[in-house]
Structure 1
């Protein structure tokens, strides 16, 4: 049974997120990229324009997230920038990225973890935009990162990363610690790849707190 439905009006719907207030948040890609919040009854509560390039709709945004302060954190791929918007559409913070940003996670200490897809790169920046931690294939044996789309920062400080372009029997997920040591990897025999994910538990114990993904 369908309990909620809202049809987009442009080229793509890139992000869907269920919010604590009961609303559903979307981003729409198209000639007028926007972020919207919709009530369960289908009423648009927030309609915020996104300041993104319009030449390639598919590469406008991914994995937008609403922050605890009420703002929105939006990776903008082809613009090579992650921006924080206030609900009225003002850019209140941004950081340029060395490659297309796919996932951006605001951490409890105010830093932002960013996965840069085809750069096979993960960076963590502080509120001033300075890189305080990074991970690339140069840090890892066997160069296992192949299109770093999804990411998840675990409560223990480790980071899990997808390799979206990985095929059958290639590394599809990798967990690394702060010292850039591999903790575990995941693969399977299917050609289907992993775009994004969420770690629910470790060794049967549910993760504490809100997931940072």
Structure 2
């Protein structure tokens, strides 16, 4: 097992950047495919605390593109291109939904790359190809349907529900990040022109984008001006950027970045400050290989919940 950056160095770097260090008990939830087909929860140094083998995709070589730790400690993931599952840390399936056979999709080609669970219990699912965002209840009933835009926008990657209830959706072709309102109208869009994978709305109101095969991470203002960017490599490091996937804004203001398909010599996730200092790396090639597209860094509260539940499992 490779430990990419010792904790002492992390403390030193975050202190020099004037930021509060993240707690050392930070946990990382990962969902890897491309033959690995595994969910795992690791500590800050990459030690595996929990692992679950998944079915993996049924077509092609791509794989899991989204994963969420739920407030109850369960994990929401997709076990194939169309089937979502919620499992406990004891690996009991407590909910599942198959977009291939539900709510009018039986004779239609559909892929699911993104989803989320709302506080009201509804699950939001982006059905690529079909070209819609749906809300379903615990029984799988269709509660709401939001159409995606034309011109390639029906073929999506990551989606995140914003604080205002809108949907921030990435479409690989034509390479757009689009904000839809609750009626499906486009209220903001940025065309990056690459096979864009992920985007989040930052606390400062800007949008941070992982450009997929563009090998870059770009922050743009509401006026669509680029205000921050890394491209091809990370300055003052030997990190080469591969297929850029997920993003997460951390409590300390840093950004965690997914670096998929970058090869064995590069971390699969790294944390970077706004002055472009890398302060933490997740580099666990043996566990996730070259196909770690989706993951979630758990905050202190989530990490404590997971640790408690793991301790309560039968040995």
Residue from 15, 20, 28 that aligns with 2:114: 15
Number of the residue aligned with 1:164: 260
| Secondary structure at 1:64 match in 2 | strand
Deviates more, 1:60-69 or 1:138-147: 138-147
Instruction: Choose the corresponding residue for 2:132, options 8, 17, 34.
Output: 34
Output the CA distance in 1 between the equivalents of 2:93 and 2:201.
32
SS of match in other structure, 1:25: strand
- Write the distance in 2 (CA, Å) between the matches of 1:198 and 1:15: 14
Residue 198 of structure 2 is aligned to residue 107 of structure 1: no
C-alpha distance in structure 2 between counterparts of 1:146 and 1:138, whole Å: 9
d(CA) in 2 for partners of 1:139, 1:163? 11
Aligned-residue offset at 1:184: 2.1
Runs of 4+ in 1 over 6 A off after TM superposition: none
Partner of 2:187: 92
2-structure distance, mates of 1:50, 1:79: 13
Higher relative contact order (CA 8 A, sep 6+): 2
Which residue of the partner structure matches residue 170 of structure 2? 75
TM-score (normalizing by structure 1): 0.85
CA shift for structure 1 position 47: 0.8
Compute the displacement of 1:92 (Å): 0.9
TM-score, L = length of structure 2: 0.59
RMSD: 2.2
Alpha-carbon offset, residue 121 of structure 1: 0.5
Give the 3-state SS of the residue equivalent to 2:204 in structure 1.
coil
Instruction: Name the stretch that deviates more: 192-201 or 150-159.
Output: 192-201
**Residue equivalent to 1:187:** 283
Give how far 1:52 is off.
4.1
Q: Distance in 1 between matches of 2:246 and 2:162?
A: 18
Aligned-partner SS, 2:169: strand
SS of the residue corresponding to residue 178 of structure 1 reads coil
Equivalent of 1:153 in 249, 255, 263: 249
- Does the 8 A contact of 1:167 with 1:193 survive in 2? no
How many residues were matched structurally?
A: 201
Are 1:169 and 1:188, in contact at CA under 8 Å, matched by a contact in 2? no
Pick the structure with more helix per residue. 2
Structure 2: runs of 5 or more not aligned: 1-91, 100-104, 303-315
Q: Deviations over 1:49-83 (max 9, x none)?
A: 111445x97xx111211112121111111111111
CA distance in 1, matches of 2:244, 2:198: 9
Match of 1:211 in 2: none
**Contact 2:174–2:193, Cα closer than 8 Å, also in 1:** no
- Counterpart Cα distance in 1 of 2:254 and 2:167: 24
